[in-house]
């Protein structure tokens, strides 16, 4: 089972030092705003790939007034020990990973722990921009395919090179060809990754029971992703992107940027009960829809890996649900298995969990059992 039985922090956010014994059940953290609940979720998120729950830089997570280093360590239910440390040796911030005391890579860690999260910042994703939805979906892709972070970085780097070339107003064809090949290679891989995950996500949505969190119809709006969903292979999508970048150079030169490509794709979500786009649903419907997508993603991860479900981090998710929906959420989390971490300002929000969860009070960077 993917669950933490111990979490320890050193100089992370508002925690100078914390050793938190855990029981392997779901974890409910309650306390006043600013007490450090979300900081704990962010610490757990550092055990997964990417930049974590807040997308902060490594130095930003260091406790104020310290030298800048920090450590997050955990013991898993199978007794493996994992840890992530910010190393500032040599004047640069470096993320150091250890598994059972031995040096490891972020990929090694991702093979052990997958993490999916929901934060209040995601609440407006359906009404937000395409880039908001793309970031949201790519975060889900990253949980399924940790290598997605590396290929996305390669794509962004190649696009910056191409944009710099376009801004000069004169493009050397051979130089542009070379950059566009790199851009197309990573772009094709991104499209295939996204297509794979959108299919897994829709299958998991179909498998979920009807209930308080409505089903959605999800799709990707982007030429490369559409080609991947049609079954085109890497080479065909690569050739398609190379041709797109070659034939749009003059237009892109006038714009000073790369207009077409996977960096412009969008996630389309339909609220199935009404048949309306998610952006047109009510605030309550959108919240329920979003929770349903996160639960489906966790289900897909469990199914495709034929292993334990991921860790789920749900920041302030329960506070905006009525009692029936809260109880339904807790029941689904328990049916999924694994371990979920939830936050809220009041203990009563988690009463429907009963003894299925461990409730902890957070106050001024300290964590204790409730009275």
Question: Has residue 1 got a pLDDT over 80?
Answer: no
CA distance 267 to 220: 5
Do 53 and 141 share a domain, yes or no?
Answer: no
Q: Is residue 122 part of a domain?
A: no
Q: Is residue 40 part of a domain?
A: yes
Give the mean pLDDT of the chain: 93
Alpha-carbon torsion angle 244, 245, 250, 252, nearest 10 = 110
Do 149 and 296 share a domain, yes or no?
Answer: yes
How would you classify the pairing of strands 115-118 and 311-314? Answer: parallel
The residue range of the domain holding 248 is 130-305
**Are 272 and 217 within 8 A, CB to CB?**
yes
Helices (H) and strands (E) in the chain, counts: 10, 15
In this prediction, residue 247 carries a pLDDT of 96
**Are 124 and 148 within 8 A, CB to CB?**
no
Give the model confidence (pLDDT) of 62-104 as tens digits: 998 888 889 999 999 999 999 999 988 777 888 999 999 999 9
Number of structural domains in the chain: 2
Question: Has residue 308 got a pLDDT over 90?
Answer: no
Do 301 and 318 share a domain, yes or no?
Answer: no
Contacts of residue 352, Cβ cutoff 8 Å, sequence gap at least 6: 323, 326, 327, 330
Written as six digits, the tokens of 317 are 């998710």
Question: CA distances (Å), 22 to each of 5, 360, 368, in order?
Answer: 4, 10, 11
**Which of 249, 280, 305 corresponds to the end of one domain?**
305
Do 247 and 150 share a domain, yes or no?
Answer: yes
Do 209 and 298 share a domain, yes or no?
Answer: yes
Give the model confidence (pLDDT) of 272-304 as tens digits: 999 999 999 998 899 999 999 999 999 999 887
Return the CATH number at 27: 3.40.50.300
Q: What number of other Cβ atoms are within 10 A of residue 170's Cβ?
A: 7
Do 145 and 207 share a domain, yes or no?
Answer: yes
Do 39 and 52 share a domain, yes or no?
Answer: yes
Question: Has residue 306 got a pLDDT over 80?
Answer: no
What is the model's pTM?
A: 0.93
Do 231 and 342 share a domain, yes or no?
Answer: no
Q: What number of other Cβ atoms are within 10 A of residue 13's Cβ?
A: 21
């Amino acid at each position: 089972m993917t669950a933490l039985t111990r979490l320890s922090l050193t100089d992370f956010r508002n925690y100078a030092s914390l050793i938190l014994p855990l029981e392997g059940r779901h974890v409910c953290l309650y306390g006043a705003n600013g007490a450090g609940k979300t900081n704990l979720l962010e610490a757990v998120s550092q055990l997964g790939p990417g930049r974590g729950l807040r997308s902060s830089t490594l130095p930003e997570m260091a406790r104020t007034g310290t030298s800048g280093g920090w450590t997050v360590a955990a013991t898993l239910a199978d007794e493996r020990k994992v840890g992530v440390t910010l190393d500032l040796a040599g004047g640069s911030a470096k993320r150091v990973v250890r598994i059972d005391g031995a040096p490891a890579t972020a990929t090694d860690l991702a093979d052990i722990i997958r993490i999916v999260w929901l934060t209040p910042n995601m609440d407006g994703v359906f009404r937000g921009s395409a880039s908001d939805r793309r970031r949201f979906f790519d975060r889900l892709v990253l949980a399924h395919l940790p290598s997605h972070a590396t290929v996305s970085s390669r794509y962004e780097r190649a696009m910056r090179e191409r944009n710099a070339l376009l801004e000069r107003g004169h493009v050397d064809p051979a130089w542009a060809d070379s950059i566009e090949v790199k851009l197309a290679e990573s772009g094709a891989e991104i499209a295939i990754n996204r297509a794979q995950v959108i299919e897994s996500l829709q299958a998991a949505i179909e498998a979920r029971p009807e209930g308080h969190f409505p089903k959605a119809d999800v799709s990707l709006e982007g030429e490369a992703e559409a080609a991947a969903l049609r079954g085109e292979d890497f080479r065909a999508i690569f050739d398609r992107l190379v041709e797109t970048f070659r034939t749009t150079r003059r237009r892109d030169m006038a714009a000073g940027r790369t207009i077409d490509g996977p960096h412009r794709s969008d996630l389309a979500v339909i609220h199935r009960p009404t048949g309306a786009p998610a952006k047109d649903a009510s605030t309550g419907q959108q919240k329920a829809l979003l929770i349903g997508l996160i639960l489906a993603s966790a289900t897909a991860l469990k199914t495709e890996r034929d292993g334990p479900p991921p860790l789920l981090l749900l920041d302030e998710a329960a506070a905006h649900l009525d009692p029936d929906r809260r109880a339904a959420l807790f029941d689904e989390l328990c049916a999924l298995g694994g371990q979920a971490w939830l936050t809220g300002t009041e203990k009563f929000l988690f009463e429907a969990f009963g003894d299925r969860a461990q409730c902890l009070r957070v106050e001024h960077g300290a964590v204790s059992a409730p009275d």
